[in-house]
C-alpha cells in the first residue's frame, strides 16, 4: 500500500525476501520426520549457523524441526515476532540471504502476505528456539520466485530461523499523559477516525523537527533496525488540514516500517527512535526532514511543514 509518509525508497531486499506474498495451498502444520539432505552446524544464537544442502533438494510437503529448543514463551499465530534467519535455495544449495549480516527482522505472523511456511511452522514453537523449515516453492516465494536473491519460481527453500522475541500490538497509546509545550499544535483523538490537529494562530515553522510526547508509554524503547507498528494522522502546519491517516485505511488501520532504514521520511526515523512503546508522539517536521523541495503533490508542497500525531503500538 502506498502512503504519503513513505519515501520513494523501497524496503531492503532482505526484509522483502521474508515477507513477500506466496501463492499455494496451506502447508502442513506437523513437523517433518526428517530433513534428509540438510545439515545445520552451530548453536550459538550470536552467530549464523552453517547450512549445507545436498542439492537439488526435493520437498513435497513443507515441514519443520526444532534444532534447539528454547525456554521462552510459546509463539502464537498472531504474534509479532523478531527473528534471525538463513535462507538457502534448495535447488542450488546456495545461501541467498542471512539476517546475521544485517540484523534481526520483524514478522507479523497474522499477516495474509507472510509466507505460508512461516505462518504454519513457527506458531507453537518457543522463543529462543532454532527451527529448521524445509519449504515447498509454493509455500515460500510462490509462483514468481525472487530473482533479486537468486530464487526461481520452482525452487524449494530451506530456512533456519532463530525465534528472538514476540509481542502483540496495542490498540492505542497507553501510558502517562504529558503536558506539551505552549505554542504547539493540539490533538484531539477521534476513535476510528483521523485525529483532529489544531494549529495555533501564528504558528511558525521550526528549523528542526520538534518531538513532543503527548503520552509516555511504559514499553521498551524503540531501537534502530526494529520494525514498529504505528497509528497516525498527518496534517499541514499552515492550516491543520489532514492529508493522511491510518484510520483512513480500514483494510490496514496500522502501519509497519523498519526504523532508521529510510522507508519513511527522516522526521519519522529520527523522531520515533528512542521513544517507548505505548507512547503518543507529536512531530512537527520541516521540509528538510519531510519531503524536501519536491514535496508530495498534490497536497504537500516543497515548503510545507508537517504535523503528525503517532501512536507507537509495537516494536519487534
- Where is 132: in which H helix or E strand? strand 130-135
Instruction: Please identify which of the residues 244, 256, 269, 311 carries the catalytic annotation.
Output: 244
Residue 40 in contact with residue 294, Cβ under 8 Å? no
- First-to-final CA distance of the chain: 21
Q: Which of 159, 255, 257, 291 is catalytic?
A: 291
CA distance 43 to 16: 26
Residue 15, H or E segment: helix 13-19
Of the candidates 308, 311, 312, 316, the residue annotated as catalytic is: 308
Is 115 assigned a catalytic role? no
Active site residue 243: yes
Among this protein's residues, is 291 annotated catalytic?
yes
Active site residue 257: no
- Specify whether the backbone of 214 is left (phi greater than 0), alpha (psi in -120 to 50) or beta: alpha
Can you tell me whether residue 117 is helix, strand or coil?
Answer: helix
Q: Catalytic: 159?
A: no
Q: Which of 265, 285, 300, 312 is catalytic?
A: 265
Q: Which residue among the candidates 115, 159, 232, 257 is catalytic per the annotation?
A: 232
94-to-100, 130, 158, 220, 288 alpha-carbon distances in Å: 16, 20, 10, 37, 42
Round to whole Å and give the CA distance between 310 and 275.
11
Residue tagged active-site, from 115, 141, 243, 255: 243
Instruction: List, by residue number, the catalytic residues.
Output: 232, 243-244, 265, 291, 308
Amino acid at each position: 500500500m502506498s502512503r504519503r509518509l513513505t519515501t520513494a525508497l523501497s524496503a531492503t531486499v532482505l526484509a522483502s525476501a521474508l515477507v513477500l506474498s506466496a501463492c499455494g495451498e496451506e502447508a502442513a502444520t506437523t513437523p517433518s520426520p526428517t530433513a534428509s539432505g540438510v545439515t545445520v552446524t552451530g548453536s550459538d544464537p550470536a552467530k549464523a549457523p552453517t547450512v549445507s544442502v545436498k542439492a537439488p533438494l526435493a520437498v513435497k510437503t513443507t515441514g519443520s524441526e526444532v534444532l534447539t529448543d528454547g525456554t521462552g514463551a510459546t509463539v502464537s499465530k498472531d504474534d509479532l515476532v523478531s527473528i534471525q534467519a538463513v535462507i538457502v535455495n534448495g535447488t542450488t544449495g546456495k545461501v541467498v540471504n542471512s539476517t546475521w549480516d544485517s540484523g534481526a527482522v520483524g514478522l507479523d505472523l497474522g499477516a495474509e502476505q507472510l509466507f505460508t511456511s512461516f505462518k504454519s511452522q513457527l506458531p507453537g514453537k518457543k522463543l529462543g528456539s532454532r527451527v529448521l523449515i524445509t519449504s515447498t516453492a509454493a509455500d515460500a516465494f510462490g509462483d514468481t520466485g525472487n530473482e533479486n536473491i537468486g530464487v526461481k519460481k520452482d525452487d524449494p527453500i530451506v530456512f533456519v530461523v532463530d525465534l528472538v522475541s514476540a509481542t502483540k500490538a496495542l490498540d492505542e497509546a497507553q501510558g502517562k499523559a504529558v503536558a506539551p509545550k505552549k505554542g504547539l499544535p493540539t490533538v484531539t483523538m477521534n476513535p476510528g477516525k483521523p485525529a483532529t490537529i489544531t494549529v495555533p494562530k501564528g504558528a511558525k515553522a521550526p528549523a528542526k523537527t520538534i518531538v513532543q510526547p503527548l503520552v509516555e508509554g511504559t514499553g521498551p524503547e524503540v531501537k534502530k533496525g526494529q520494525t514498529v507498528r504505528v497509528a497516525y494522522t498527518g496534517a499541514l502546519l499552515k492550516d491543520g488540514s489532514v492529508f493522511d491517516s491510518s484510520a483512513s485505511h480500514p483494510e490496514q488501520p496500522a502501519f509497519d516500517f523498519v526504523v532508521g532504514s529510510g522507508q519513511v521520511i527522516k522526521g519519522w526515523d529520527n523522531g520515533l527512535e528512542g521513544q517507548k512503546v505505548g507512547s503518543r508522539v507529536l512531530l512537527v517536521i520541516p521540509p528538510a526532514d519531510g519531503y524536501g523541495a519536491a514535496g508530495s503533490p498534490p497536497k504537500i508542497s516543497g515548503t510545507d511543514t508537517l504535523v503528525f500525531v503517532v501512536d507507537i503500538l509495537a516494536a519487534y
